């Protein structure tokens, strides 16, 4: 959410930013919030003047009574009563308009970085750099669900009977590999100085509205029927919301956390649920990284965070590239974002495995997360998030890039301690 003062003083910049995000239908919101803001400020001023008049009138009543001017004193009392009634109406109107203002402000997208590529959708995202040699072996690499099936490691049919489409059972070595990758990612981030955390998997509606746009909420979040609780779509949601309505000390920043959680997503929209494999599903597990920092440090943290993703995937012998997200592919709270995509030798192309975002103070304003500077001044923090690993999607890249002609899968050295010392997985039929 933007600062209303910024919108008030820079309406053309805000409108141009909306155009860059191809959301022209939101342009009228700028004038609407400026008008509402003026009405609220006028009501505040009127209320302050009435309270001042009430205080002065109340003080005068006692003097009039002592001087025997009872009729004049009664008239002043009636005026105080009228002022109180008027104040009730003013305060009610101010509250209603303030709620409306916040709702409209939350629909206006965050200002994007100057160097964000301009484009309408993800087809206009720009490859900035690649890491590792992309190899396509001479032998055929099966579809990822078929690789898993060769280890008796995947059962979507039973999951469909139990839970419906978009769910899965992982078993045996594949399930162990899934857990090993998460454990390795956890330790990788701890070694980078991040604090490990397991957060709540359900959060209140006000926390949801604080961490994401209304459109994202509708398309992603599962609500618990009859309760003000939502299943998280990523641990970033509850990790950032942990600091809701808090004033932090400058000396406590940056706060760097890496969190594990299951994630639940409706996946409403163009992508939908994948029928055959486990690339896009309703439930998965993820290791996340989250940073809360001072505004002047967020760009540097953004670069550190996406580089951590590259380092981790390369340590698992997976080639990756950095794809800069264009303006139309940025969620409303994002200042800048990039995807780390892993190489698929089967498809001969890259696919997304991590998403790193700098949201500047957009989340912090919604959640009222501030810090106190040494001089006592309070300022909103910046927030950032990035995927460490999100299996089972990450397993697709792992299995394809480590798949051998005999059907076995090599285990990189860094992962072997988490796999009981195994250096390869061998299919059940071998």
CA distance 103 to 109: 12
pLDDT 10s digits, 191-221: 999 999 999 999 999 999 899 887 788 888 9
Q: Cis omega (within 30 of 0) on the bond before 392? A: yes
pLDDT at 280: 83
Within a 10 A sphere around the Cβ of 420, how many other Cβ atoms?
9
Q: What is the strand order of the sheet 283-293 is part of?
A: 126-131, 320-324, 336-344, 349-358, 382-389, 283-293, 255-264, 195-197
**Shortest CA distance to 360 belongs to which of 395, 385, 386, 343?**
385
With b meaning 16 or more CB within 10 Å and e meaning fewer, what string describes 334-362?
A: bbbbbbbbbbbbbeeebebbbbbbbbbbb
Is 228 in contact with 253 (CB distance < 8 Å)?
Answer: no
Got the DSSP string for 198-248? ---SEE-HHHHHHHS-HHHHHHHPEEPTTSS-EE-SSHHHHHHHTTTT-EE
Q: All domains of the chain, ordered by start, with CATH? A: 4-105 (1.10.287.40), 122-425 (3.30.930.10)
What is the average per-residue pLDDT within 125-140? Answer: 95
What is the average per-residue pLDDT within 344-366? Answer: 95
**Shortest CA distance to 104 belongs to which of 216, 9, 1?**
1
**CA quadruple 161, 163, 167, 172: dihedral, nearest 10:** -70
CA distance 229 to 208: 9
Whether the predicted pLDDT of 430 surpasses 70: no
CA distance 63 to 69: 9
Q: How far is CA 98 from CA 18, 23, 33, 290, 365, in A?
A: 22, 24, 10, 31, 15
126-131 and 409-410: which strand pairing?
unpaired
Structure tokens given for 45:
């001023």
255-264 and 126-131: which strand pairing?
unpaired
**3-class state of residue 370 by DSSP:** strand
pLDDT 10s digits, 177-196: 999 999 999 999 999 999 99
Task: Give me the phi and psi of 190, to 5 degrees please.
Answer: -60, -40
Structure tokens given for 324:
């800069």
pLDDT 10s digits, 139-177: 999 999 999 999 999 999 999 999 988 899 999 999 999
Q: Which helix (H) or strand (E) holds 424?
A: strand 424-425
3-state SS, one letter per residue, for 310-344 = HHHHHHCCCCEEEEECCHHHCCCCCCEEEEEEEEE
pLDDT at 273: 58
Quote the pTM value.
Answer: 0.90
> What's the whole-number average pLDDT of the chain?
93
pLDDT 10s digits, 303-318: 999 999 999 999 999 9
Q: How far is CA 184 from CA 101, 177, 178, 188, 397, in A?
A: 46, 10, 10, 6, 16
pLDDT 10s digits, 77-107: 888 899 999 999 999 999 999 999 999 999 9
Q: Cis omega (within 30 of 0) on the bond before 254? A: yes
CA distance 41 to 225: 39
Half-sphere exposure in the Cβ direction for 163 (13 Å, CA): 12
Q: Give me the helices (H) in 151-196, please.
A: 156-162, 172-191
What is the average per-residue pLDDT within 367-382? Answer: 96
């Amino acid at each position: 959410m933007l600062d209303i003062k910024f919108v008030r003083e820079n309406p053309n910049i805000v409108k141009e930013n909306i155009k860059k995000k191809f959301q022209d239908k939101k342009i009228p919101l700028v004038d609407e919030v400026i008008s509402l803001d003026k009405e609220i400020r006028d009501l505040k001023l009127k209320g302050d003047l009435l309270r001042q008049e009430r205080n002065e009138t109340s003080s005068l009543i006692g003097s009039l009574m002592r001087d025997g001017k009872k009729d004049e004193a009664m008239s002043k009392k009636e005026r105080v009563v009228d002022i109180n009634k008027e104040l009730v109406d003013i305060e009610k109107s101010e509250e209603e308009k303030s709620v409306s203002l916040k709702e409209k402000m939350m629909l206006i997208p965050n200002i994007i970085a100057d160097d964000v590529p301009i484009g309408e959708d993800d087809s206009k995202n720009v490859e900035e750099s690649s890491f590792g040699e992309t190899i396509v072996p001479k032998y055929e690499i099966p579809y990822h669900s078929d690789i898993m099936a060769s280890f008796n490691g995947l059962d979507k049919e039973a999951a469909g009977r139990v839970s419906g489409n978009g769910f899965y059972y992982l078993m045996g070595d594949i399930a162990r590999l899934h857990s090993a990758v998460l454990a390795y990612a956890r330790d990788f981030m701890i070694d980078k100085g991040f604090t490990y955390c397991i957060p709540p998997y359900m959060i209140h509606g006000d926390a949801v509205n604080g961490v994401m746009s209304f459109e994202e909420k509708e398309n992603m979040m599962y609500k618990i029927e009859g309760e003000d609780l939502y299943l998280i779509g990523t641990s970033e949601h509850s990790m950032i919301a942990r600091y809701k309505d808090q004033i932090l000390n400058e000396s406590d920043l940056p706060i760097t956390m890496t969190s594990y959680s299951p994630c639940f997503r409706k996946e409403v929209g163009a992508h939908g649920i994948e029928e055959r494999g486990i690339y896009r599903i309703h439930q998965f597990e993820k290791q996340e990284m989250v940073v809360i920092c001072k505004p002047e440090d967020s760009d540097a943290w953004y670069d550190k965070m996406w580089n951590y993703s590259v380092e981790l995937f390369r340590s698992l012998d997976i080639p990756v590239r950095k794809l800069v997200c264009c303006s139309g592919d940025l969620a409303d709270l994002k200042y800048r974002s990039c995807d780390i995509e892993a190489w698929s030798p089967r498809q001969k192309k890259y696919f997304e495995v991590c998403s790193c975002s700098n949201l500047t103070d957009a989340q912090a304003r919604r959640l009222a997360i501030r810090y106190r500077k040494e001089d006592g001044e309070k300022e909103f923090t910046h927030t950032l998030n990035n995927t460490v690993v999100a299996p089972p999607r990450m397993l697709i890249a792992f299995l394809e890039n480590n798949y051998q002609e005999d059907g076995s899968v090599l285990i990189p050295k860094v992962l072997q301690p988490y796999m009981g010392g195994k250096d390869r997985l061998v299919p059940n039929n071998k």
